[in-house]
Homo-oligomer: A and B are copies of this chain.
């Protein structure tokens, strides 16, 4: 019998609880598993021993959990210090944990890697077995190496695409009043979420008209010229901008009004800064004289239950279950990666060393050469995750 501890770390997604529910269910049905535990608030609960037992969680709760936004165990951005590792392992030993599952993104996989190495180095054993540490991918940003898609991305991407379709109908209806709108979406370094806006179109002239990704520094003059041209042609211009957009000099646009604060890990908190949308709106208003609305959904894009994507949820279930199966089969030091095959999506363990320290940006081939737009390979990619958006509309 082996006891299992599960953690949720980093920003929630609409489907990270689906992975959690699937992992719990897989543990419950596996005869090798004894107790199932969850740590509250991710790594913080691991270090502090603040755990909740999940062994007997009823099927009704699992079903509800699987469709619930947020991260039900509590997640967060706790920074694991080296000197806290012994305390964490003392808690693991006390409850005789043999399998540690971490649901998370880049930062989480780095922590998982450290935990795995500490377990090996310290000779941690339960019933003669070493600790098996397995990562389960989760991030709306889709910037995680080692997996072709990260569960969470599909739902946030669908939210963004459907939102662009919806608000563009509103903007077009108000074209004798409003001129431009800037929708600010998440994405510090990677433009996957901004790119998803392209799926809103049913005709080439449809919104979004300009998609601004962090992979492409923004020349502000060229941008203003493009906005003016789109507005002249369509009477409106809908811009989608990633929060991590930088100007040609490498400065975050979000910080051009006011410097962002840094969090405990030294990362700039762009979502809490003045923001890229207010900056671009000011630019459009002051330089072009056009009215410019802003939409800043912030955490709505990563928690909207109504637009959670079913394929995304199924992938979240798949990796949750595969993480348990891999660990119980003896795998450790790996993350469950997703690979698209002609037969559908499959999982395969990927060593932490191939995941940690990487950041999967939009490939250059996914971006159109001269326009603020995507290229055909991006649509081939999104076809693999079957993103569905209600695009059709009646126009007069």
Please report the C-alpha to C-alpha distance between residue A295 and residue B271 in the assembled complex, in whole angstroms. 10
Task: Give A245 Cβ to nearest chain B Cβ, in Å.
Answer: 18
Chain B residues within 8 Å of A307, by CB: 306
Q: Interface code A282-325, partner B: CB below 8 Å = 1, 0 otherwise?
A: 00010000011111111110111111000000000000000000
Please report the C-alpha to C-alpha distance between residue A162 and residue B67 in the assembled complex, in whole angstroms. 14
User: A378-392: which have CB < 8 Å to B?
Assistant: 390, 392
A272 close to B299 (CB less than 8 A): no
B298 close to A298 (CB less than 8 A): no
Known A-B contacts A65-B394, A295-B298, A296-B295; the reply to A173 vs B71 at CB < 8 A is: yes
A163 at interface by CB-CB < 8 Å: yes
Given B74, B166, B297, which contacts A305 in the complex, CB threshold below 8 Å? B166
Binds B, one of A75-83, A87-95, A332-340, A348-356: A75-83
Known A-B contacts A166-B69, A293-B272; the reply to A393 vs B64 at CB < 8 A is: yes
Task: Give A343 Cβ to nearest chain B Cβ, in Å.
Answer: 31
A173 close to B76 (CB less than 8 A): yes
Given B174, B295, B302, B390, which contacts A170 in the complex, CB threshold below 8 Å? B302
A163 close to B68 (CB less than 8 A): no
A293 close to B304 (CB less than 8 A): no
B176 close to A44 (CB less than 8 A): yes
Task: Give A163 Cβ to nearest chain B Cβ, in Å.
Answer: 6
Taking CB as reference atom, which chain B residue is nearest A292?
A: B272
Chain B residues within 8 Å of A75, by CB: 173-174
A69 close to B169 (CB less than 8 A): yes
Chain B residues within 8 Å of A146, by CB: none
A392 close to B174 (CB less than 8 A): no
A120 at interface by CB-CB < 8 Å: no
A295 close to B299 (CB less than 8 A): yes
Taking CB as reference atom, which chain B residue is nearest A298?
A: B295
Chain B residues within 8 Å of A279, by CB: none
| Best-surrounded residue of A11, A169, A297 (most CB of chain B within 10 A) | A169
A61 at interface by CB-CB < 8 Å: yes
Task: Give A220 Cβ to nearest chain B Cβ, in Å.
Answer: 20
Please report the C-alpha to C-alpha distance between residue A65 and residue B392 in the assembled complex, in whole angstroms. 10
A396 close to B303 (CB less than 8 A): no
A-B contacts, 26 of them at CB < 8 A, read A8-B173, A12-B170, A44-B176, A64-B392, A64-B394, A65-B394, A69-B166, A70-B170, A70-B172, A72-B173, A72-B394, A74-B175, A162-B305, A163-B300, A166-B300, A166-B305, A169-B303, A171-B299, A271-B293, A272-B281, A293-B299, A294-B298, A295-B298, A297-B297, A297-B300, A300-B300
Nearest 7 pairs between A and B by C-beta? A70-B169, A71-B173, A76-B176, A166-B303, A306-B306, A170-B303, A296-B296
Contacts A11-B174, A17-B394, A297-B300 given; 8 further ones with Cβ under 8 A? A8-B173, A64-B393, A70-B170, A72-B394, A76-B173, A76-B176, A166-B304, A295-B299
